[in-house]
Structure formats: structure tokens, C-alpha cells
Chains A and B, each alone.
Chain A
Amino acid sequence: MEYFIQQTINGVTLGSVYGMIAIGYTMVYGIIGMINFSHGDVFMLGTFAALIMFLILTSLVAGMGVAAMLLVMMATAIVMSSLWSWVIERIAYRPLRGSFRLAPLITAIGMSIVLSNFIQVTQGPRNKPIPPMVTKVYDVYGVTISLKQILIVLITIVMMTAFWYVVTKTSLGRAQRATEQDRKMAALLGIDVDRTISITFVMGASLAGVAGAMYLMYYGVATFSDGFIPGVKAFTAAVLGGIGSLPGALLGGLLIGLIESLWSAYFSIDYKDVATFSILAIVLIFKPSGLLGRPEIEKV
């Protein structure tokens, strides 16, 4: 039983990270109907921004508290990820709006390659480790919970609540939903559609930045190729939960995190990705729009 709870806690932690990345996929898909395949690399950029800030802080500022350091790393990751996402939206996606559907998909893959290769060249192809930042561990009735796991889950809850508030309660969120539902009508009501789409990219990217900083803190290592596997997992999470749905992205992320860690615990760790994608396939056979997605109605 302790073992099961232990693995569940590990799964929820991992799932929180996937969920935060998945929000970016789902929001962008919701508003412009495009899968932003470079979003995984935006997350990877977040891990490197946090890493570089960590190195700067530890070498230049002596005796800085861990909490303050984490905050600064997170802020750096948010800024870098958002900035990059804003730029690629401007140069690679916006000029192709109104073009055929596959065009922005292809440039997205291009942007993904550009960023991961850039990081590979400038930061090197090896794993970049950092010393553990948060080491405190609690023992609750035989179950080990580390402080960094608690931090990740807490930060995820805070970020998700903030996002839910913005999207459902503010005029910005209303403008985003209106743009998603009828772009032309939103413009007729005075909404700057291009700006709203830019903000959506930036919002998704800032969450990916936070996820990147968390990932670095949790695993203590960053690699240029980290955009790929976590990116694909988060994309899977978004599809599993129902792409376009914010709660769906979080739910999908948590499910994938849980499947991965429980499968690794009880069956074979080598087949954990097979298990994840099999479950995705099964869900999509019976519920093509995902768990919380809305059935796609073909617009004529």
C-alpha cells in the first residue's frame, strides 16, 4: 500500500509538469486550431533559462536563499519562453494565417528544430547537471514525500487557478474565448484578434517556462533534447484530456503521469511509453474528442 501511494505521489508530480505544458498546446489549438509542435522546445528553453540563471546566481550572488533563487529562476524561464514564443508567432505563424492548414504545422516543426539545435550548439550536447537545490524530505507513515514534489504540486495549483480565473472571469479571457468561437465577429466588436492570439501564445509559453524551471529543480539536469519527449507526452496529455479544454489538459497530464509511474512500478519500466500511448489510443477509439473535449462540429 505504501508503495502504491508512493508511486501515486511521484505520478502526480510528473503529471503536474505535463499538465502545465499541455495547457500551452490546448490554448493555442483552441484559439487558432493549430498544433504548435515547437511548444515542447519552449519548455526546454525554460529549463535552460532557469539553469543559466542558477549558474549566474550561484557564482555571483553569495548566500542567496533557495526560495528567492527559485523565484528568480522561474521568472527568467517565464520571460525567455514567452519572448521566444511571441517571436515565433510573429515570424513563423502569423504570416501563414489564412494559408492551408498544414503550413503553420510545418513551420512549427522547423522552429522546433531551430531552437533545439541552437541550444545544442551553444550549450553543448551533454546533460547539464546542477547540484540539488531542495533536498528536504518528509516521511509520512512510511511514504516519502519530498519538498520539491510538494512545491511542484502547489505551484501547479496556483498557476492553474490563476489561468482559470483569467480565462473565465476577465475581459482578456472573454476576448480569447470570443476569438476562439468566431474570429470575424470578435473583430467586428473591436477585439484586436492578432494581439489576442499573441497573448495566448505568451500565456501558454509562460506556463511552459514555469514547468521548465520545475523540471530542472526536480531532476537537476537539462538537455537540449528535453523538448521532445516531455513535449510529446504533454501533447498526448492535451489530446487525452480533450484538446481545446483547459481542465482536460490538466486531467490528461495527471493521468499520463500516473500511468507512467504506476506502470513502471508494477510492470516493466521499458514499456511505460507503450502503456501511455496504448491508453491514449484506447480512449481515442471510444471517445475521439478526448475525455473532456467537445465533439468537433465541422464548420461549413
Chain B
Amino acid sequence: MNAQTPLLKVEGVETYYGAIRALAGVDVEVHRGEIVCLIGANGAGKSTLMMTICGQPQARQGRILFDGEDITRVPTHLIARKRIAQSPEGRRIFPRMTVYENLQMGASLDNQTYFKEDVEKIFTLFPRLKERQAQRGGTLSGGEQQMLSIGRALMARPKLLLLDEPSLGLAPLIVKQIFEAIKLLNQQEGLTVFIVEQNAFAALKLSGRGYVMVNGKVSMEGPSKELLANPEVRAAYLEGGHH
């Protein structure tokens, strides 16, 4: 594939929950080495888009291309094997498995081949996880669970990392710590990141480009700097709420 092919291309995707249309024709592109953010209000369909990319549920209309290959109808576990890793909404830590086992689950794709070396990287990135490695996932605090969820996704050596609301419910200091870790991975390893956030200010600061979603549709897109300066975006998502 040439460098012009976007790593992820979402074309006119529509997703339904029963008869309810959650996504009404979404177009998004993510290129290699980018951090792209998707902001929008609660219920706009941001998490639905993240899950649709992974085939849970599958899109009813439109196409999803990964590295030029159509993955719209591919089962979820085979999408994961193409190295799309997700830290999903609600973190979804396995509650009755230890932190260490949760990370092992992340490394399932390579049969633990690179586990030792990768887990050290995760522990350097999030030292708290090292302290807690023998503890059950369900006993961690929200921030620790978020770190674990991201760490678990990274263990898969992803080409594309999908992050769904990594800041939700966390103290500002921890949010800062997590966002710095993401930035570091992007700069040092060229990791491609697609991040969904309600914390629009932090997400736009972190990313290079952004999309704004309203009622299951992309209403605006552009370089994050421009979105930050845009009066409409400021009025709807930034003023009166940001940290």
C-alpha cells in the first residue's frame, strides 16, 4: 500500500440498534502516524462508531477500510488480528483476572511471544500497574483501570489504537498523565491513534486533526487548532466546561 492510502477509512457508515439508527452516514479518515480525535455530546454516536470499526455491531450501510482492505463484514476477533486494538467505553477490564493476566490477554495475538519485553514497556509507561500486577482487575481504581485498559490494548502491538473516552471520570492530573503517555507513544513509535472524547479541549490539544459529531453524523472536521479557534465549537463544546 502506498503512503497515500489512509490507514483507516470509514465511508458512509450507518449502524442500527434494532430499528434505531445510531450512525447516519459517517465518513472519517485516519492516516499513519496521526492522532485524530472525535468530539461530540453524549449520545452523538461516538462509541458506536468505535465499536462499528471493530464489527460490534457491524455497519448496515457503507464500508470500513483498513489499510485499503474492506473489513466491514469481518468478524470482530479477525479485525483484532489485523492489529486494531481498542480501549473501549467503560474500560471493560476483566474483573476477576489479575492485572498481569489482563495484560496477557492483550498479548493473545502473538501467543505471548513479545510479552516479557512489551510488559516492561507498559510498566515503564504506567508504573502503577507494576505495583498492582497481582491484584484483581475489579479492585483497581478508575484511573488504574484506564491505564490497564490502554496498556492491554498496547500489548497487541497495534497499528491503530482506538481510545474511547480515556478521561471519563478521572482526576485532571491522571488525565494529563494518560494523555502524555499517548503523545509519547505517537512521537516515539509513530503509533496511530483515533481517540473519542467528551473532554474536547484536552482531545483537541492532543490531536492533529479532529471531527465533531452531532446526532450520528460528522458535522465539522479540520485541523485541531482550527477547531479549537472555531466559535461554534467553542460555544458548544469548550466554553464553560473545560479544565
Contact = CB atoms under 8 A, between A and B. Distances in A.
Interface residues of A, number: 18
Contacts of B106: 189
B94 A182 contact: yes
Interface stretch (B17-25, B62-70, B95-103, B225-233): B95-103
A222 to B, nearest CB: 39
Interface string A169-188: 00100110110011011111
Interface string A38-52: 000000000000000
Contacts of A294: 96
A191 interface: yes
Contacts of A185: 88, 92, 94
B76 to A, nearest CB: 4
Contacts of A95: none
Interface centre among A174, A178, A181, A188 (most CB of B within 10 A): A188
A193 interface: yes
A181 B96 contact: yes
A188 B101 contact: no
Interface string B93-130: 01111000100111011011000000000000000000
A192 interface: yes
B108 A191 contact: yes
Interface string B78-100: 00110001101000101111000
A184 B80 CA distance: 12
A65 interface: no
A186 B80 CA distance: 10
Interface in A16-65: none
B150 interface: no
Given A175-B108, A178-B105, A190 B97 contact: no
B77 A192 contact: yes
A191 B78 CA distance: 9
Contact of B97 (A171, A178, A187, A191): A178
B54 interface: yes
Contacts of B85: 188-189
A190 B80 contact: yes
Contact of A174 (B54, B77, B104): B104
A174 B56 contact: no
Contacts, number: 64
Given A171-B104, A189-B108, A181 B95 contact: yes
B77 A171 contact: no
A190 B55 CA distance: 12
B94 to A, nearest CB: 5
Contacts of B104: 171, 174
Interface residues of B, number: 25
B10 interface: no
A174 B101 contact: yes
Interface string B51-75: 0001010000000000000000001
A177 B92 CA distance: 14
- Leading 6 A-B pairs by shortest Cβ distance: A190-B80, A187-B76, A185-B92, A181-B94, A190-B109, A187-B77
A184 B105 contact: no
A283 B176 CA distance: 51
A228 B221 CA distance: 64
A178 B94 contact: yes
B177 to A, nearest CB: 24
A244 B72 CA distance: 35
30 contacts: A171-B104, A171-B112, A174-B97, A174-B108, A175-B105, A177-B94, A177-B96, A178-B94, A178-B105, A185-B88, A185-B92, A185-B94, A186-B105, A187-B56, A187-B77, A188-B76, A188-B80, A188-B85, A188-B86, A188-B92, A189-B80, A189-B108, A189-B156, A190-B77, A190-B108, A190-B109, A191-B105, A191-B108, A192-B77, A294-B96
Contacts of B80: 187-190
Contacts of B111: 171
Given A182-B92, A182-B94, A190-B77, 11 more contacts: A174-B101, A174-B104, A174-B108, A181-B97, A189-B77, A189-B105, A189-B108, A190-B80, A190-B109, A190-B156, A191-B105
Interface in A214-265: none
A191 B104 CA distance: 12
Nearest to A192: B77
Contacts of A174: 97, 101, 104-105, 108
B105 A188 contact: no
A248 to B, nearest CB: 14
A192 B75 CA distance: 9
A187 B94 CA distance: 13
